[in-house]
């Protein structure tokens, strides 16, 4: 599902990729496996260097309910999928703990008035933009 993210100002954080906090797309089983792999190594922290910036993620989600809801659903999918994943048990435990920490940080983060108003509407109104699958040769 598509949510517009403005991260141009954050492109200078890492020279080889976007910061880990921007890597969040989960649409199918391969994306779930990729997200679990991404969470298996870096920790969730307060900065961007060699970790996923939990505070930045929580702030972003605290500003946009639709993005918050989609991300919360995706994190729940990751937790369920962990039981069937090929990682070793210690890695599954670490990923599960990181997901929990990210969810806790996001839940505690202050929400904007716009977020609160949209949350009242909930899923009774479409909260996502469907993304078409792109076929590449």
Give the model's confidence band at 46: pLDDT under 50 very low, under 70 low, under 90 confident, else very high. Answer: confident
Tokens of 51: 């970790």
Q: Please, are residues 112 and 63 in contact by the beta-carbon 8 Å criterion?
A: yes
pLDDT value at position 1? 43
The residue-averaged pLDDT of 46-74 equals 87
Q: Please, are residues 1 and 128 in contact by the beta-carbon 8 Å criterion?
A: yes
H-helix or E-strand spanning residue 98: helix 89-108
Rounded-to-integer distance, Cα 32 and Cα 25, Å? 8
User: What is the tens place of the pLDDT at every residue in 75-112?
Assistant: 888 888 887 776 666 688 888 999 999 999 999 999 99
Report CA torsion sign: 61, 67, 68, 71.
negative
Residue indicated by tokens 């983060």: 109
Rounded-to-integer distance, Cα 10 and Cα 19, Å? 7
């Amino acid at each position: 599902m598509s949510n517009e993210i403005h991260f141009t100002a954050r492109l200078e954080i890492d020279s080889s990729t976007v910061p880990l906090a921007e890597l969040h797309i989960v649409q199918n089983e391969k994306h779930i496996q990729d997200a679990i792999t991404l969470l298996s190594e870096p920790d969730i922290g307060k900065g961007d260097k060699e970790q996923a910036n939990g505070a930045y993620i929580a702030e972003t989600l605290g500003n946009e309910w639709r993005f918050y809801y989609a991300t919360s659903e995706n994190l729940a999918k990751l937790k369920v999928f962990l039981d069937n994943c090929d990682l070793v048990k210690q890695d599954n435990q670490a990923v599960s703990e990181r997901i929990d920490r990210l969810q806790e940080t996001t839940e505690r983060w202050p929400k904007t008035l716009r977020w609160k108003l949209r949350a009242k509407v909930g899923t009774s109104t479409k909260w996502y933009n469907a993304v078409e699958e792109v076929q590449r040769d």
